[in-house]
Amino acid sequence: MSLVVVGSMAYDAIETPFGKTDKILGGAATFISIAASYFMEKVNAISVIGYDFDEKYLEMMRSKGIDLDGVELISDQKSFFWSGRYHNDMNSRDTLVTELNVLANFDPKVPESYQDCEFLMLGNLTPDIQRSVINQMKKRPKLIALDTMNFWIDNTLDSLKETLTMIDVLIINDEEARQLSGDYSLKVAAQTIMKMGPEYLVIKKGEHGALLFHKNEIFSAPGLPLEEVYDPTGAGDTFAGGFIGHLAKSNDISFTNMKRAVIYGSALASFCVEKFGTERLEGLTLGEVENRVRQFVNLADFDMLSQDISDALDQSA
């Protein structure tokens, strides 16, 4: 199945308690595409870059089967740049610099060669732009997934809500779910949000794993306890890439298979945080991915004795 990924390709400069970087490769579409490339021979990317975007990064992405026909180069502007500093607990960060540059007037165009797209992953962008991509699709994709963030919930809620009516899967974090729904309970928030449009909702909880909601079904994926979180940047995008990559590869959008997709997304994200930027993600082997998936299987595995259950039911009868 074909997959289209839309989002930023950018430079990030990151400070964590473990160190700081100069401008390194970042951006939602970058993380999503690289993660998805472990599942797909070809990933069709849509983004915008400036004259300062290093050719070596484009080469790296091409070598992973990422088609860059949809990546526009603006030759007289710089690439999107974000700089942030993580606090000691790695769960919160300060944005130091945001330079929109090429992203300020991003008007994505879906290349003709991407029009057969069956899976569409809309990375974090203004909801207007996300909607414009959906509207350019001559045939509606089989599955449209979308990531967003608190900034759009705060500032462009009406546009976001319009976009939500057009998608199948929303992928956000717990704080965003509470903000978007106005509900504190994630169970209640999920019902509120699914009424806005998406039939499936993934709520990412960082080190605590992720929840998948669909109608009245809930799946809880564990967070893999890690010895060290080196740099959380891009972990959410990487999750989305693993998630949509597995779905597109298997061409199965059942709840059962979407649970597997959450595990693949979680596994990829758990690698992402082990080094700065895309460094760890770029060098993975599929064997490493599968070993990590097995760790998730073991981590969550338990079996209740049916004897216990029938004993108890006998006593309570």
- Do the bridges between strand 217-221 and strand 210-214 make them parallel or antiparallel, or are there none, so unpaired? antiparallel
Does 227 participate in binding a copy of itself (rule CB under 8 A)?
A: yes
The answer to whether residue 299 forms part of the interface with a copy of itself (CB under 8 A) is yes
Q: Is 218 in the site for a copy of itself (CB under 8 A)?
A: yes
CB of 110 to a copy of itself, least distance (A): 29
In whole angstroms, give the CA distance from residue 124 to residue 143. Answer: 17
- Tell me if 302 contacts a copy of itself by CB under 8 A: yes
- Shortest distance, CB of residue 202 to a copy of itself, whole angstroms? 13
Subset of residues 264 to 293 that bind a copy of itself, contact rule: CB under 8 A: 285-290, 293
Full 3-state SS string of 247-295: HHHHCCCCHHHHHHHHHHHHHHHHHHCCCCCCHHHHCCCHHHHHHHHHH
Contacts with a copy of itself, 148-187, as mask; x by CB under 8 A: ------------------------------------xxxx
Supply angle C-alpha 217, 297, 244, rounded to 5: 60
Largest Cα–Cα separation, the chain: 77
Stretch that binds a copy of itself, among 50-58, 104-112, 270-278, 298-306 (CB under 8 A): 298-306
Give the DSSP letter string of 86-98. Answer: E-TTSS-EEEEEE
Report in angstroms how near the CB of residue 97 gets to a copy of itself at its nearest.
27
Residue that has been written with the tokens 């879906």 in this structure: 110
Q: Which is nearer to a copy of itself, 96 or 188 (CB)?
A: 188
Binding mask 82-101 for a copy of itself (x = CB under 8 A): ------xxx-----------
CB of 33 to a copy of itself, least distance (A): 18
For a copy of itself, which is the closer residue by CB, 91 or 113?
91
Instruction: Annotate each residue in 231-270 with x if it binds a copy of itself (CB under 8 A) or - if it does not, as one string.
Output: ---------------x---x-----x--xx-xx-------
Give the integer Cα–Cα distance in Å for 259 and 171: 13
Residues 47 and 124: their CA atoms lie apart, in Å, by 12
Q: What single string gives the DSSP state of each residue in 25-60?
A: EE-HHHHHHHHHTTT-S-EEEEEEEETTS-HHHHHH
Does 216 sit near a copy of itself (CB under 8 A)?
A: no
> How many chain residues interact with a copy of itself (CB under 8 A)?
55
DSSP symbol at 200: E
CA distance 77 to 264: 36
Q: Name the token pair of 248.
A: 């597109």
- Nearest approach in angstroms of CB 186 to a copy of itself is 5
The CB-of-300 to a copy of itself minimum distance in angstroms stands at: 5
Q: Does 190 bind a copy of itself (CB under 8 A)?
A: yes
Element (H, E) at 3: strand 3-6
Nearest distance from C-beta of residue 190 to a copy of itself, angstroms: 8
Q: Which helix (H) or strand (E) holds 310?
A: helix 306-316
Angle formed by the axes of helices 255-272 and 28-36, nearest 10°: 110
Binding stretches for a copy of itself (CB under 8 A) = 88-90, 184-188, 190, 205, 207-209, 211, 218-223, 225-229, 246, 250, 256, 259-260, 262-263, 285-290, 293-294, 297, 299-305, 308-309, 312-313, 315-317
